[in-house]
Structure 1
Amino acid sequence: MRFLPTCCAVFLLCGTLSPALAQDPAAAARAASEQLSLAAEALAEAEGAQNRVKALTQVISAYEDGLEAMRDGLRRASLREQALGAELQAREAEIAQLLGVLSGMGSAPVPVLLMHPSGPVGTARAGMILSEVAPALDARALELRDKVQELSVLRVLQQSAADKLQEGLEGVQEARTALSTAMAERTDLPRRFTEDPVRTALLIASTETLEGFASGLSEIAVDEAPGSLPDITARKGALPLPAEGVILRRAGEADAAGIARPGILLATRPRALVTSPSAATVRYRGPLLDYGNVIILEPQAGILLVFAGLDVVYGQAGQVLPGGSPVGLMGGAGTEGDLLLAANVQDTGARRTQTLYIEVRQDNSPVDPLTWFKTDKDG
């Protein structure tokens, strides 16, 4: 089974790009293409992996990193192409004059070039001037040639990278579909309790706030096993964000409607994978109040992680999830919409149009999520 080595290679490639490579649009796009190729290999191998859910989760993360790198490489290649095109266009007159001089020098017979109307002295002076001018002309010609060649390479690269981007989008969609299937078929997770659907419905109907709903979560559990998961206090401030994204609003900041919530709002790309930051019990999953689709995780007694705004939610109430387990997907463009992004090389950003609301509650009181999550890579 070669899945783990391939996937490890993907992550090593994602994390070891040199600063020089990051500055070179062509090299960055080629490296991203290699990342996507490795992700495709890992997807093929995930079918036979012993833990398909974990394997597919790693594949999707690898695809998301590769697609992000490819979009960035394409975006910078496009900007470089525009800059080169504008520079060459602005120097059209200079280029035409230089080509004329070089063409004239190349077509004139050598004896004619060495003759001067004023005689031998003039010829000598002309030769000296020519010996000084010729290298400068050659240097300018080489500079222009390099820029034209770079422009040609960038145009070819962008087309091949766009094709690779489309392949990557198709691959990540296939991985997401396979993950949904694997999650539906999963039977290996321990359960701490069974959810009572009647009690759950009554609790939802009788509460108007997240606080009220959270306070009644213990009432919907049947035959709950005693005990709790290991204490995660030592990981405070170091938990990974559940999805790759950028913080739009911090705790207590009002939105456009003037509504302030105690959680943070994370902007993600369409169909981004959402994972559990640590091992946790699923206390609830499903629609809730005005939060949309919600999953509430309990990493330890007295602490709740609330993720709201998902399109697809995985898992069942009562299940105990390992850290890094997929808990859902964000909404946004599906397969067709994603592929349209690849068709427009000028707009390869795949903007972060989806928002994930994250709230942390300790003893049913909200605390600033940024005190728990590591966010040094945001933005």
Structure 2
Amino acid sequence: MTLRAGLFLLALLAAPLQSAADPAGAARTAAAQLEGASVQLQEAGSSRDRVKALTATVQAFEAGLAAMRDGLRRVARREAQLSAQLAARQEEVSGLLGIIQTIETSPPPVLMVHPSGPLGAARSAMMLAEVTPALHARAQSLKADLDEVQSLRLLQQNAARTLEEGLAGVQSARVQLSTAIADRTTLPKRFTADPVRTAILISSTETLSGFADGLAEIAGGDIAGTSADITELRGTLPLPVEGLLLRGYGERDAAGIARPGLLIAARPRALVTAPAAATIRYRGPLLDLGNVVILEPQPDTLFVLSGLAEVFGEAGQVIPAGTPVGLMSGENPKPDAILSLSGEGGGTDRTETLYIEVRMDNSPVDPETWFRTGKGG
């Protein structure tokens, strides 16, 4: 290889690599989040308000696991990018190594000989003096890339244990939360549901509208009045579950069916919470909607949440904003399943759906007038 070819090769190798954020740092930060959630779980048992403490713990685990998934996706993308760049430069790297090896092994008399005589030898020596530091710098850069690839692969291997501990922790927190909610007796109640009347209403109605219209009939006595008013919160309420908007109000699905509500894609077993202080008007199976929670945040306004695997609380209870009302369907993913998804785009692990309908004066309205969905912003 001539010196001119060597200089051309060096120019190719010196092309700047595509910059990227620190994916390894993101994954390590997520691991620290999961460790912090484990500490929260240990402390939740001694909290005066166990429901509140365990709710925060479950949410901390869910946030940590989501961050870990995102971090591992970034790690996988970075590792693939580096591997592809190194593979594409394999011939160039071989040439670089050949140049370095020639410089290191050629005896001084040979290096000093030049066909053009002493002047050509002097020019070659000057060019070589300029090229050698650059060759060394590029070699160091390649070594750094190789070291990063090895570090990222090791991080992915170690992530399996962190994920396993995090998944076990969030499952334990969910079980403890369900027990704590069942044991809680301090919430005020506006009415006590009559199971017989509730069963009669369910069997005699065929639509959500008909059931909502007859909700007053499920109480065993009078329903206490309320002056609750959350009108000023319209458009600012958080979604009941962390997720992505799949289908908007009135949009048709693949079967051509349009429903007057939102469909949110959520992760399996994700915690569903009350977006505002409300009365639980109904909880349980209903029609073809699966498990349903109907919340009344103010008179003549209902939030209908369907698609849950488990529902918490009792009909008639008045619950604060952020109170858990259920868990999404699905199975807890295994660490291997999460790792296998790490190279894919966001949203691939949100396999469950929550349907949200808002009814005012027993007529459906667009839920996006109440909730922040992130759509368009």
Same-fold call, TM cutoff 0.5: yes
1:327 aligns to 2:309 (yes or no): no
Task: Tell me what 1:233 maps to.
Answer: 231
User: Any idea what SS the aligned residue of 1:361 has?
Assistant: strand
Task: Tell me what 1:3 maps to.
Answer: none
Distance 1:206 1:378 in 2: 41
TM-score using structure 1 length: 0.89
| 1:214 corresponds to which of 212, 215, 234 | 212
Q: Which moved more, 1:159-168 or 1:248-257?
A: 159-168
How many residue pairs get aligned? The number is 357
> Displacement of 1:114 after TM fit?
4.1
> Displacement of 1:140 after TM fit?
2.2
Preserved contact between residue 263 and residue 359 of structure 1 (Cα < 8 Å)? yes
Task: Tell me what 1:172 maps to.
Answer: 170
Preserved contact between residue 160 and residue 335 of structure 2 (Cα < 8 Å)? no
Preserved contact between residue 294 and residue 303 of structure 2 (Cα < 8 Å)? yes
Q: Relative to 1, partners in 2 of residues 1:182 and 1:377: Cα closer, same or farther, differing over 3 Å?
A: farther
Q: Which moved more, 1:138-147 or 1:53-62?
A: 138-147
> Displacement of 1:187 after TM fit?
1.5
> Displacement of 1:174 after TM fit?
1.3
**1:40-55 matched pairs, under 5 angstroms:** 40-55=38-53
Preserved contact between residue 158 and residue 345 of structure 1 (Cα < 8 Å)? no
| 2:21 corresponds to which of 20, 23, 46 | 23
Which residue identity lines up with residue 198 of structure 2 in the other structure?
T
Distance 1:184 1:301 in 2: 26
Q: Relative to 1, partners in 2 of residues 1:153 and 1:378: Cα closer, same or farther, differing over 3 Å?
A: farther
Task: Tell me what 2:293 maps to.
Answer: 295
Preserved contact between residue 239 and residue 373 of structure 1 (Cα < 8 Å)? yes
Task: Tell me what 2:159 maps to.
Answer: 161
Task: Tell me what 1:13 maps to.
Answer: none
**1:48-63 matched pairs, under 5 angstroms:** 48-63=46-61
Which residue identity lines up with residue 328 of structure 1 in the other structure?
G
Preserved contact between residue 291 and residue 310 of structure 2 (Cα < 8 Å)? yes
| 2:248 corresponds to which of 244, 247, 250 | 250
Q: Relative to 1, partners in 2 of residues 1:29 and 1:377: Cα closer, same or farther, differing over 3 Å?
A: farther
Distance 2:222 2:38 in 1: 41
Distance 2:320 2:227 in 1: 11
| 2:309 corresponds to which of 284, 308, 311 | 311
> Displacement of 1:133 after TM fit?
2.0
Distance 1:52 1:355 in 2: 28
| 1:341 corresponds to which of 337, 340, 348 | 337
Task: Tell me what 2:360 maps to.
Answer: 362
Which residue identity lines up with residue 156 of structure 2 in the other structure?
Q
Deviation per CA, 1:37-92, whole angstroms, max 9, x where unpaired? 11111111111111111111111111111111111110111011111111111211
TM-score using structure 2 length: 0.89
| Percent identity over paired residues | 59
Task: Tell me what 2:280 maps to.
Answer: 282
